[in-house]
């Protein structure tokens, strides 16, 4: 079963709203969670990143580039494995982060659920007309107790979920932007946007969440991808 998924309308709207709210800048939001210090209680599963890289054509249609996407997934996986090794955090499944498919139906459903919950967090956690009053002074989100399936399967304590959409303007899109600018019309170019979540597998609670949204960045090379992962994992729990 493919990890790659079609962006849901609700998520697309949430991501657009975040971009407008941010004004094209980068933001992060974290909870105050810290990892336990007990030996053997810092075992983290990294689920295959749900990543898509696209080329943005002149008319604004985004076309997924399979090679870029495949390479980006590997760049992210390699970088995460190395930085967790340096932090002395045990990766349970470090050799399978970059896989392009998930054979376990429950694991696939959790990846899709994280996508939906992440969209809800973007819609309702942050300041704005859709913020829920109950979320104004608290961060209380969960994937439910089905996450215990991952705890049992991998013998891990936490799972790191990543969702990223990255687009790059084609030459025709750039030309369109230049022409439109000459007439005082602004047209959006490529954007990089996504989120990362750390989930307690025993309770299902999202204990840390981070948002990335900007009009710059690149995941097509290993060197450039490191900077994106830096932002995705900014202030990751220690």
Per-residue pLDDT of 158-216, as tens digits, reads 999 999 999 888 878 788 788 888 887 777 777 888 899 999 999 999 999 998 888 88
Structural domains counted in the chain: 1
Q: Residues of the chain whose pLDDT is less than 50?
A: 1-10
Q: Flag whether 82 is in a domain.
A: yes
- According to the model, what pLDDT value does residue 20 have? 54
16 touches 190 (CB < 8 A): no
Residue numbers of the domain that contains 74: 9-232
Q: Where are the beta strands (DSSP E) in the chain?
A: 43-46, 50-56, 62-64, 90-91, 158-169, 192-200, 206-214
Q: Flag whether 1 is in a domain.
A: no
- According to the model, what pLDDT value does residue 169 have? 81
pTM of the model as a whole = 0.82
Q: Flag whether 238 is in a domain.
A: no
Residue 12 — φ and ψ, nearest 5°? -60, -45
CA distances from 194 to 16, 67, 151, 179 (A): 11, 19, 25, 30
- According to the model, what pLDDT value does residue 3 have? 40
């Amino acid at each position: 079963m493919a990890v790659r998924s079609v962006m849901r309308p609700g998520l697309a709207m949430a991501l657009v709203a975040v971009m407008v709210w941010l004004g094209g800048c980068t933001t992060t939001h974290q909870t105050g969670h810290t990892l336990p210090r007990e030996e053997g209680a810092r075992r983290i599963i990294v689920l295959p990143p749900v990543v898509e890289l696209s080329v943005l054509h002149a008319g604004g249609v985004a076309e997924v580039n399979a090679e870029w996407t495949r390479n980006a997934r590997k760049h992210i996986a390699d970088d995460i494995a190395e930085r967790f090794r340096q932090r002395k955090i045990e990766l349970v499944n470090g050799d399978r982060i970059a896989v392009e498919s998930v054979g376990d139906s429950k694991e696939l459903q959790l990846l899709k659920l994280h996508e939906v919950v992440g969209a809800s967090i973007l819609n309702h956690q942050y300041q704005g007309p859709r913020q829920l009053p109950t979320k104004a002074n608290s961060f209380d989100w969960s994937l439910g107790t089905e996450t215990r399936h991952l705890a049992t399967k991998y013998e891990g304590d936490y799972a790191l979920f990543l969702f990223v959409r990255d687009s790059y303007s084609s030459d025709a899109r750039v030309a369109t932007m230049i022409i439109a600018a000459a007439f005082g019309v602004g047209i959006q170019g490529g954007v990089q946007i996504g989120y990362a979540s750390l989930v307690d597998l025993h309770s299902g609670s999202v204990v840390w969440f981070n948002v990335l949204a900007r009009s710059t960045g690149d995941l097509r090379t290993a060197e450039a991808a490191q900077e994106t992962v830096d932002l995705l994992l900014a202030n990751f729990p220690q």
